[in-house]
């Protein structure tokens, strides 16, 4: 698996002067939350534009399904738009993925960045176009959670063709989750809830030979156990090359069993390398990684190195 893998559609790297469209495929957001993201992207020389329906709201959704899908399809069809950056996650991407014009995606591939609920969108784009994506912070930027290091990491993934290396951090809660060894495979995955919710749909990727990325937020240990057990019983973890464990933020309840206990129990006997402590997810200092491209997980050395999503 190389950077020139013909089975993967890798969009062009973003360059100064490129237009990027800010879209809200999932939950609603507010202009004051996105203002900082616009400032950041502008400082990189990009030209961020807010999609027409990015601030729409319908309860817990960023407007009707048709509006959210329209913004995505407009971005994929417009030759002037070179990148698509989601404002936030939340919920709702699964409701619109079947409305995406995959022919437009394949005709003019663009880098798509986001995380959390955007895992559903990344999976759909992988299924429909084999489009590599970027798992990283959205445009509704919060400096307290995503400081300078987070910004530099996103910039590297979007605007350079350098491989991305993330090191396990001792201060991360999942750092003790580790099975030594080295694995090479395509990095796929993201938010654990969305991975589990994709089971049984056309968008569930074949994880055979893959390095699976998992992260989560505000799910108690027993629910993490339930999701991982579901994946195990469905057989989708049987052929994994390895597991990259990101941040499991605010995943605690009143029981003695911790989320680290659950992750160790449910992932530790798969017979593959497992590396926890990666600052990827919903926690402070979130870093960015490509998804859909080749990765080397060195659980002994504590590193995850990923081929760029852009070319």
* pLDDT at residue 196 greater than cutoff 70: yes
Q: How far is CA 68 from CA 32, 56, 129, 142, 196, in A?
A: 20, 9, 19, 23, 23
Q: What is the mean pLDDT of residues 17-45?
A: 98
pLDDT digits (tens, 9 = 90+) for 252-303: 999 999 999 999 999 999 999 999 999 999 999 999 999 999 999 999 999 9
Q: What's the confidence (pLDDT) of residue 103?
A: 98
The reply to whether the predicted model has a pTM over 0.85 is yes
Beta pairing class for 182-191 and 211-217 = parallel
Contact 303, 273 (CB under 8 A): no
Confidence of residue 6 (pLDDT cuts 50, 70, 90): confident
Calculate the dihedral angle through the C-alpha atoms of 250, 178, 302, 135, rounding to the nearest 10 degrees: -50
pLDDT score recorded for residue 229: 98
Residue 236 to residue 244: CA distance in whole angstroms? 15
Which pLDDT score, from 0 to 100, does residue 3 have? Answer: 52
Mean pLDDT of 40-61: 98
pLDDT bucket at 53, cuts 50 / 70 / 90:
very high
Q: Has residue 203 got a pLDDT over 80?
A: yes
pLDDT above 80: residue 307: yes
Whether the CB-CB separation of 8 and 130 falls below 8 Å is answered with: yes
- Percentage of the chain exceeding pLDDT 90: 97
**For the packed helices 221-234 and 259-267, what is the interaxial angle rounded to 10 degrees?**
10
Q: What pLDDT shows up at residue 5?
A: 84
Cβ count within 10 A of residue 68: 26
Q: For the chain, which domains are there?
A: 19-159 (3.40.50.10740), 164-306 (3.50.30.60)
Q: Given pLDDT bands bounded at 50, 70 and 90, which one contains residue 4?
A: low
pLDDT exceeds 80 at position 49: yes
Q: What is the CA radius of gyration of the chain?
A: 18
Q: What is the pLDDT of residues 167-181, one digit of tens each?
A: 999 999 999 999 999
Task: Please give the full DSSP string across the chain, using - where no structure is assigned.
Answer: --TT-TTSB-PPPP-TT-EEEEE-SSS---HHHHHHHHHHHHHTT-EEEE-TTTT--BTTBSS-HHHHHHHHHHHHH-TTEEEEEES--SS-GGGTGGGS-HHHHHHS--EEEE-TTHHHHHHHHHHHH-B-EEE---SS--TTTS-HHHHHHHHHHHH----EEEE--TTSTTTT-EE--EEEEEEEEEEHHHHHHHTTSTTPPP-TTPEEEEEEES--HHHHHHHHHHHHHHTTTTT-SEEEEEEEET---SSS--HHHHHHHHHTTSSS-EE-----SSSTT---EEESSEEEEETTTTEEEE--S--
Whole-number average pLDDT of the chain:
97
pLDDT digits (tens, 9 = 90+) for 214-266: 999 999 999 999 999 999 999 999 999 999 999 999 999 999 999 999 999 99
Catalytic residues: 116, 215, 282
Please, what is the end-to-end C-alpha distance for the chain in angstroms? 15
CB 29 within 8 A of CB 87: yes
The mean per-residue pLDDT over the stretch 114-128 comes to 98
The number of beta carbons lying within 10 Å of the beta carbon of residue 66 is 10
104 pLDDT more than 90: yes
Collect all residues with Cβ–Cβ distance below 8 Å to 258 and sequence separation of at least 6.
Answer: 221, 252
Span 201-217, average pLDDT: 98
CA dist 261 and 187 (Å) reads 24
Average of pLDDT values for 62-80? 98
């Amino acid at each position: 698996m190389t950077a020139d893998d013909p089975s993967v559609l890798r969009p062009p790297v973003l360059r100064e002067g490129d237009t990027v469209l800010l879209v809200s495929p999932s939950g609603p957001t507010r202009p004051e939350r996105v203002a900082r993201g616009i400032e950041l992207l502008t400082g990189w020389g990009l030209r961020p534009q807010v999609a027409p329906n990015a601030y729409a709201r319908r309860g817990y959704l960023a407007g009707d399904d048709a509006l959210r899908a329209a913004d995505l399809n407009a971005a994929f069809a417009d030759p002037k738009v070179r990148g698509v950056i989601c404002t936030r996650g939340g919920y709702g991407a699964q409701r619109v993925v079947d409305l995406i014009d995959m022919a437009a995606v394949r005709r003019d591939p663009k880098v798509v960045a986001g995380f959390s609920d955007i895992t559903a969108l990344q999976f759909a784009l992988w299924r429909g176009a084999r489009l590599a994506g970027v798992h990283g912070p959205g445009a509704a930027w919060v400096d307290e959670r995503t400081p300078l290091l987070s910004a530099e990491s996103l910039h590297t993934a979007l605007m350079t063709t350098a491989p991305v290396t993330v090191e396990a951090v001792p201060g991360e809660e999942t750092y003790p989750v580790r099975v030594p060894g080295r694995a090479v495979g395509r990095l796929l995955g993201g938010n654990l809830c969305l991975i589990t919710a994709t089971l049984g749909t056309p968008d569930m990727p074949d994880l055979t030979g893959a390095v699976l990325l998992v992260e989560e937020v505000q799910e108690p240990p027993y629910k993490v156990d339930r999701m991982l057990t579901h994946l195990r019983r469905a057989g989708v973890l049987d052929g994994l090359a390895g597991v990259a464990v990101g941040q499991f933020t605010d995943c605690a309840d009143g029981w003695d069993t911790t989320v680290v206990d659950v992750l160790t129990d449910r992932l530790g006997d798969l017979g593959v390398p497992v590396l926890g402590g990666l600052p990827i997810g919903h926690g402070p200092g979130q870093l960015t990684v490509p998804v859909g491209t080749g990765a080397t997980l060195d659980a002994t050395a504590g590193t995850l190195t990923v081929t760029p999503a852009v070319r």
